[in-house]
Every structure is written in C-alpha cells, then in structure tokens.
C-alpha cells in the first residue's frame, strides 16, 4: 500500500474513533452507554423506557468500582466529596439540580479518620421533576455527573450522559429493580420523637420497645463539619430515656435542628437504620421534677375533663346533687363532695392497678380500651338508660341495706364518681396525652400517682366547696325547680344512649344493635314493673303481684346477660370500606408517602371519642380545611381506632400517646408536627403554614 493510501486509511480510522468517542453517551432505551474511566465505569439508568405525561421520572447514576476503590455519601466524613448531578431537558439552558436519594453508607475507619462510603456497584437514585411544558413530549436528557473515587489515591471523575425517554405509556424497565433495591436501602423515617440538646445530647423518651434490644448506636449527620468523627459517640439507655452523646466540633451551642441517620445495633449484631430530624430541646434534669410535671399535667387534664362532651351527662347528675346542698349543713356538704371524690379516686386507683397488673403479665393495654368492646358499650348504654328512667320517676331506687338517713345519698355520690370515670375514659383532654402515655409506660409508683392526680383534677371543682365553704352560699335554695331539673337532666343521659347506640352501629355488628335496642325495651318494661310494684306496695299490694314482679325482674336480668353472651358468640366484624376522600392508615402507607416526599395529615380517631368527632365536624370536615388540603396536595390519612388495632397502638406510642385524638402533619421535607387535641379550621391551617415556613 502506498504512503498516500496508508495516510487515507489512518485518516478515516481517526475520524471513526472520534465519532465513536463523541457518541458513547447515546442510548437506545433505558440505559445510557457506559463511560469507562480508570478504576470505574458508569451509566445513567431509568426506571421506565418512556415518558407518560408524569410530573417526575425516576433515574439513577450507576457506578461500578474496582475492588479496593470507593466513593462517598452526602456527608463524606473527614475526607472525600459527594456526587452531584446537573440535568438539562431537550437542550433547555435551564439547569436542574436533582436531589440524590442516598442509600445507607458504610463507615470506613482509616488512619484515624472516619469516612462514609460506597463500594462495589453503587446505585444513586434521583427523581427528575419534569416541567409541565415537557410532560407530553419526547424527552432528551443531558446529564452531567461528578464524583470522587478513592483507594490509596483519590481521583475526581466527571462524565456526561444523554438518555432519551420517548413519549409513550410507562412500562417498568429491568433497571427499575436495581433502582428500587437502592431506594429500599434508604433509611426509613423514625416515627418517634427524638431531640437534641444544645450541647449535643441526642435523646428521646423510651416509650416503646424500639430501644429495648439496642446494644450500640451511632449517628451519621447529613451536614459536614458538625461532629468530631475521631471521637466516640457515647450511648446509654435507662428505663425512661435513650441518650447518645455527640462530640460537637464547635464549642458554641447548637442553634438549629439537624438531620441524619441513626444506626441502632441489636444484640444479634443486626443494624437498623433510621432517618431522623431531631429538634433542639433540653433534656429533663430531675426525675422528681419530671414526676411533678406529669402529675400537674394529669391534674390539669382531669380538670378539663369536666368540660369535655363525653362527661357532660354525668356532670349533669352531679349538678343535680349539688343543687340539694344549698340548705344542708356544713357536715353534709363536706361529706357529699368527699363521697363523690372518693368514688373518682377509687376508680382511678382500680384503673392504675389494672394497668400495672397487665403490664406485669407482659400485656399491653391502652387508654379507653374498654370502649373497643361492644359488650362494654351495650352495658354502659343500658346503665345510663336505667339512670335516665330513674330521673324520670319511672321507679325509685332505695338502698334498703342503709339506714333511712343521708347514707344513701352519700352512696349515690360515690357511685356517681365511679360512673364519671367510667364515661370519661375514652376522652383525652388537653394536657392528658403526655400524662397518660407516661402512666402506661412508667414504673408502678409513677403510674399510680399520675392517675391519682388525674382523679383529683376531675373532682377539683367539687373539692373547692369543701375547702372554700363560702362558695356554698352561691348554691341555689331547694324548691319545686329541683324536681323539674331532675327530670330535665334525664334527657342528656338519653342523648348519651343514642350516641352509644351509634358507636355500636359503627362496629358494623347488626346483632349488637339488635341486642342493645331489645335490651332497652326489656329494661323499660322492668322499670315500669318495678315502679308499679313500689306504688302498689304503699297501697297494700298483694304478695302474689310482688312475687311475680320480682321473679320477672330476675328473669329480665338473666335474659340481658344471655343476650350479651349470645352476641359475643355470633358477632363478626365487617371490613372497613375505604372512603375515596382519604387514605386508610397503615405504617407502610405513611412511610411510602414520606419516601415520595408527599405532604401527609394523619388523623387518629375513633367513633367512641366525642372529642374526635367534634374536631372532625368543626375543623377537619370544614370546607376551608379540605380545600386547603387539596390546593397544597396534602394526603389526608385516617386511622380508625374504634376497633383495637395493634398498628395504630404502636403509632400512638411512637408519639408518646396512649389514646386518641392524635393529629400529625408530615411536610414533604422536614420534621412532623403534632397538632393540639382541640382543633379549629384556622388552627389546623396555621400549624401547617408554620411547618412549611
């Protein structure tokens, strides 16, 4: 071959190599051509082959490293540099900087330095938000990526890729499996309130089993230069607190919250990773002070229970009792109020002993648990119905085993106190949530004192009459109005019966509804029979009628008990039908929404919780709030605790609660916010805006 011919061959070979070199990034589908550089190869992969008019696409930077080489996490540690991406769409000059969804890194200790790294095959997913003008078009993406790889030496890598996503119906590519596997390796958001003190102590209340089996823990901050990587993070745990001491680099106190990954290593050597956003909050310094604050909170919550709708019927009964004190002597007033207080404190003592005993046996129980039992609801409805009939003078209750003095009135006050606690337990007033959660997860002594504090709060308005005698001067004098008031107060109790029937209906058990209504008819007949017996007794009634009525009453009670037993044998619960306006709660749903960076409002409610129903009617069902949720793309999630649900119980405990209502707002990015237990439309919107700002 002549020299000229050889030169021509060389020329065309050179041109061919240049063309190939410039086109190494063109792809035919779901993966770009691979970039081969020293010690690494890389490409861009897509979870789908096509663009189907969506607001974002899921892609990933795929890196394969030679053995012994590694690249870095968002916070590289003492040395290194994280990967970064720049994207332009369809040759647009506007550059998009997508956020990498970082999987959990490894810790590398080397020569006294700590780094957070990835090695082997690394998949770094990212969501690319597509401008609206490009959503129905073919997409041509130009992606510039930079990252650092290190072994004995470090080499910065820069590469450019192009990938085409033609318009078409989305179908999942094979690479989607790799991307999803990497996304699954992201740390899950921790549904547990954690805090950090200004001097770097990461801590939280030990209110659930999350920390029970923890042997060691460490924190990996997302922000560089926050902690001294060379120093050990000291971990300790006690029955009340989890604590991890972080060695801060700066001597200045922390002035803003931080984010990162909390690693918890159990005794089996398994490591659990959680994404956390602790806020700055000082840790309680004194157990005695903490107990005092919890008892005070329980006391205030008990006081406010007097104004909660669920206790109104019983308070009405107590108001009737108080109306009789106007012309009584000081000793009678004193004993009447103390009898009512004794009934309340006896009930709370019994509740505390039940909780302590069940916890000692290894069982978990929650506040208001009895309202998740249909049998309890039916019996309570019948009891209130009997009291209402008594107030309407259908019959008279005489405590014949007491002398015909004031003793029966004191017993009535005592039983009214017990009934007040029985009806109040599904309610969670302001200040009560934290106190109840602490009581159900603390030592026996603390549990007892917290419940006693709650009982004193519930009875406090009446104790004032004991300790401030001058207040009795404001009580009205007795008269014929008392008889009218007594009969009038029967109707709030009948309304309570209607509410309880509705709650029973919410359990989706037709046999339960039939049982409660048929029982009310039998009770009404028994009350009429007893009233007639009492009336005729005073008018020389025959012994035959008295015996027949007594036997009939006994048979009614036996029949009522048999109805409850039969209902428990045949009852069956229906599955809840999902309302299209909201999502049914599950931890998996909430966690997936957080992974997708969707704003979420969680409403933990129950049909037997009147506070929940009032909040729903006044605030959450309000058109202003619903429109606000729709405009700001907030997913509304409802957890219905009408029936006992272990998953909801665990969720409540993660936020330090043992009862409903509980309202949580999760922003698309950032820490969740716990809303107050009493809501208004403006209060809901204001809390969400405060989080967003």
pLDDT tens-digit profile of 54-98?
A: 788 899 999 999 999 999 999 998 888 999 999 999 888 889 999
pLDDT at 8 over 70: no
Residue 472: per-residue pLDDT? 64
Angle (CA) 339-342-347 rounded to 5° is 135
- 266 pLDDT exceeds 70? yes
**Closest C-alpha among 410, 348, 416 to residue 387:** 416
The residue ranking higher by pLDDT, 512 or 463, is 463
**What DSSP string describes 295-318?**
HHHHHHHHHHHTTSGGGHHHHHHH
Lowest mean pLDDT among 245-254, 378-387, 522-531: 522-531
Tally of CB atoms within 10 A around 685: 17
Please tell us whether the domain made up of 24-185 is placed in CATH 2.60.40.1250: yes
pLDDT of residue 575: 38
Residue 548 vs residue 293, higher pLDDT: 293
- Residue 215 CA, chain-centre distance (Å), reads 27
Residue 260 has pLDDT above 50, yes or no: yes
Contact 58, 47 (CB under 8 A): yes
Is it the case that residue 666 has pLDDT exceeding 80? Answer: yes
pLDDT one-digit tens code per residue, 387-414:
788 778 787 664 333 334 455 677 878 8
CA angle (520 as vertex; 517, 521 as ends), nearest 5: 95
Residue 77 and residue 118 in contact, taking contact as beta carbons nearer than 8 Å: no
Instruction: Assess whether the previous peptide bond of 379 is cis (omega < 30° from 0).
Output: no
Q: What are the C-alpha distances in Å from 383 to residues 376, 388, 416, 496, 663? A: 10, 9, 12, 11, 33
Of the two residues 389 and 531, the one the predictor is more confident about is 389
Segment of 31-35, 184-188, 295-299 carrying the highest mean pLDDT: 184-188
State the Cα–Cα distance between residues 399 and 151, nearest whole angstrom: 89
CA atoms of 583 and 636, how far apart (whole Å): 6
Measured distance CA(424)–CA(307) in Å, rounded: 11
Q: Is the pLDDT of residue 170 over 80?
A: no
Closest CA to 332 of 529, 465, 181: 465
Beta-carbon contacts of 669 under 8 Å, excluding residues fewer than 6 positions away, are 597
Instruction: Assign 639 a pLDDT band (cuts: 50, 70, 90).
Output: very high
Residue, of 404 and 37, whose pLDDT is higher: 37
- The pLDDT assigned to 405 comes to 47
Any idea what DSSP says for residue 227?
B
Using CB atoms within 10 Å of the CB of residue 307, give its burial: 0 to 12 exposed, 13 to 18 middle, 19+ buried: exposed
490-506 and 480-488 helices, crossing angle to 10°: 10
Q: Let me know the angle formed at the C-alpha of 337 by 332 and 341, rounded to the nearest 5 degrees.
A: 145
- Categorize the per-residue pLDDT at 156 as very low, low, confident or very high, splitting at 50, 70 and 90: very high
- For residue 158 the two structure tokens come to 């820069």
Determine the pLDDT at residue 54: 76
Grade residue 588 by pLDDT with cuts at 50, 70 and 90.
confident
Domain at 189-280, CATH from 3.40.50, 3.40.190, 2.60.40, 2.60.120: 2.60.40
Return the percentage of the chain with pLDDT > 90, whole number.
19
In this structure, what token pair is assigned to residue 256?
């803003």
Average pLDDT, the chain: 78
- Is residue 23 pLDDT above 50, yes or no? no
Helix (H, G, I), strand (E, B) or coil at 40: strand
Q: Looking at the predicted structure, is the pLDDT value of residue 344 above 80?
A: yes
**Confidence (pLDDT) at 312:** 62
Q: Which tokens sit at 395?
A: 């019959």
Mean pLDDT confidence for 180-198: 87
- Mean pLDDT computed over 151-169: 88
* Cβ atoms 302, 462 nearer than 8 A: no
Q: What is the pLDDT of residue 42?
A: 94
Q: What percentage of the chain carries pLDDT values higher than 70?
A: 76
**Cα 303 to Cα 462: distance, rounded to the nearest angstrom:** 11
CB contact burial 153-186 (16+ within 10 A = b; e otherwise): eeeebebebbbbbeeeeeeebebbebbbebbeeb
Q: Is the pLDDT assigned to residue 693 strictly greater than 80?
A: no
Taking phi first (over 0 means left), then psi (-120 to 50 degrees means alpha), and beta for anything else, what does residue 319 get? alpha
Extents of the domains making up the chain? 24-185, 189-280, 287-374+397-478, 583-692
Q: What is the pLDDT of residue 13?
A: 44
Per residue, the 3-state secondary structure of 557-612, as one string, reads HHHHHHHHHHHHHHCCCCCCCCCCCCEECCHHHHHHHHHCCCEEEEEEECCCCHHH
Q: How confident is the model at residue 572 (pLDDT cuts 50, 70, 90)?
A: very low
Per-residue pLDDT, averaged over 351-364, amounts to: 76
DSSP label at residue 48:
B
pTM confidence score: 0.44
DSSP 8-class letter at 210 = G
Q: Do domains 24-185 and 583-692 have the same CATH topology?
A: no
Q: Write out pLDDT tens, residues 131-144.
A: 888 887 888 999 99
- The whole-number pLDDT of residue 208 equals 58
- Taking 50 as the threshold, does the pLDDT of residue 29 lie above it? no
Is 356 within 8 Å of 430 (Cβ atoms)?
Answer: no
Compute the distance between CA of residue 444 and CA of residue 432 in angstroms, rounded to an integer. 18
For the segment 288-295, the average pLDDT, to the nearest whole number, is 75
Q: Count CB atoms within 10 A of the CB of residue 635.
A: 17
CATH ID of 583-692, from 3.40.190.170, 3.40.30.10, 2.60.450.10, 3.40.50.300:
3.40.30.10
Looking at 32-41, 85-94, 174-183, 418-427, which range is the least confident one?
Answer: 418-427
What residues does 602 pair with on adjacent strands?
637, 664
Range ranked top by mean pLDDT from 111-120, 318-327, 368-377, 575-584: 111-120
Other CB atoms within 10 A of residue 269 CB: 8
Question: Which has the higher per-residue pLDDT, 124 or 200?
Answer: 124
Question: With bands split at pLDDT 50, 70 and 90, how would you rate the model's confidence at 603?
Answer: very high
Res 361 pLDDT > 90: no
119 falls in which pLDDT band (50, 70, 90)? very high
Q: How many CB atoms lie within 10 A of CB 602?
A: 23
Residues forming a β-bridge with 201: 245
Of 482 and 677, the structure prediction assigns the larger pLDDT to: 677
Q: Which DSSP category does 488 fall into? A: H
Residue 26 pLDDT greater than 90, yes or no:
no
């Amino acid at each position: 071959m002549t020299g000229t011919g050889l030169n021509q061959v060389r020329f065309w070979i050179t041109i061919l190599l240049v063309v190939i070199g410039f086109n190494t990034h063109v792809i035919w589908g779901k993966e770009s051509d691979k970039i081969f550089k020293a010690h690494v190869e890389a490409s861009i992969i897509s979870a789908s082959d096509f663009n189907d008019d969506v607001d974002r696409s899921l892609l990933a930077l795929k890196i394969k490293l030679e053995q012994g080489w590694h690249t870095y996490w968002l916070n590289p540690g003492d040395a290194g540099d994280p990967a970064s991406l720049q994207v332009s769409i369809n040759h647009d000059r506007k550059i998009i900087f997508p956020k990498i969804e970082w999987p959990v890194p490894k810790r590398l200790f080397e020569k006294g330095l700590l780094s957070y790294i990835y090695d082997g095959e690394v998949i770094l997913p990212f969501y690319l938000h597509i401008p609206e003008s490009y959503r129905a078009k073919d997409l041509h993406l130009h992606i510039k990526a930079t990252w650092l790889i290190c072994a004995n030496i470090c080499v910065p890598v820069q590469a450019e890729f192009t990938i085409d996503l033609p318009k078409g119906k989305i179908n999942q590519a094979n690479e989607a499996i790799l991307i999803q596997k990497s996304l699954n390796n992201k740390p899950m958001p921790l549904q547990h309130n954690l805090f950090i003190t200004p001097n770097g102590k990461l801590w939280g209340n030990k209110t659930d089993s999350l920390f029970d089996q923890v042997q060691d823990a460490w924190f990996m901050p997302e922000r560089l230069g926050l902690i001294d990587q060379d120093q050990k993070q000291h971990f300790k745990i006690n029955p009340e607190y989890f604590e991890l001491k972080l060695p801060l680099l700066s001597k200045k106190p922390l002035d803003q919250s931080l984010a990162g990954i909390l690693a918890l290593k159990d005794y089996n050597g398994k490591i659990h990773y959680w994404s956390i956003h602790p806020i700055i909050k000082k840790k309680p310094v004194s157990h005695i002070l903490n107990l005092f604050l919890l008892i005070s909170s329980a006391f205030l919550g008990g006081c406010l229970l007097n104004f909660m709708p669920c206790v109104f019927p019983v308070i009405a009964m107590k108001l009737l009792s108080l109306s009789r004190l106007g012309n009584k002597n000081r000793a009678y007033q004193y004993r009447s109020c103390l009898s009512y207080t004794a009934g309340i404190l006896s009930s709370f003592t019994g509740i505390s002993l039940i909780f302590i005993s069940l916890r000692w046996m290894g069982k978990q129980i929650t506040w208001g648990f009895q309202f998740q039992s249909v049998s309890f609801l039916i019996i309570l409805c019948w009891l209130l119905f009997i009291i209402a009939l008594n107030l309407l003078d259908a019959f008279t209750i005489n405590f014949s085993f007491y002398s015909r003095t004031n003793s029966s009135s004191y017993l009535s006050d005592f039983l009214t106190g017990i009934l007040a606690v029985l009806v109040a337990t599904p309610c969670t007033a302001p200040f009560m949530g934290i106190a109840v959660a602490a009581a159900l997860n603390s030592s026996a002594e603390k549990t007892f004192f917290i419940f006693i504090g709650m009982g004193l709060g519930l009875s406090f308005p009446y104790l004032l009459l004991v300790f401030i005698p001058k207040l009795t001067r404001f009580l009205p004098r007795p008269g014929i109005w008392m008889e009218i008031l007594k009969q009038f107060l029967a109707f709030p109790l009948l309304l309570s019966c209607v509410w309880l029937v509705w709650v029973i209906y919410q359990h989706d058990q037709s046999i339960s509804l039939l049982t409660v209504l048929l029982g009310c008819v039998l009770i009404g007949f028994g009350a009429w029979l007893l009233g007639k017996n009492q009336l005729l007794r005073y008018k020389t009634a025959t012994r035959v009628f008295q015996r027949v009525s007594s036997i009939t009453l006994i048979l009614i009670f036996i029949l009522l008990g048999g109805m409850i037993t039969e209902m428990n044998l045949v009852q069956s619960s229906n599955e809840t039908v999902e309302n299209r306006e909201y999502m049914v709660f599950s931890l998996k749903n909430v966690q997936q929404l957080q992974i997708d960076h969707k704003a979420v409002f969680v409403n933990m409610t129950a049909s037997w919780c009147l506070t929940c129903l009032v909040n729903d009617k006044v605030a959450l069902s309000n058109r202003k709030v619903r429109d606000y949720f729709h405009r700001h793309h907030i997913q509304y999630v409802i957890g219905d605790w009408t029936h006992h649900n272990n998953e909801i119980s665990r969720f409540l405990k993660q936020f330090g609660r043992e009862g409903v209502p509980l309202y949580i707002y999760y922003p698309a990015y950032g820490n969740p916010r716990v809303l107050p237990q009493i809501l208004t439309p403006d209060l809901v919107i204001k809390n969400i805006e405060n989080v967003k700002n």
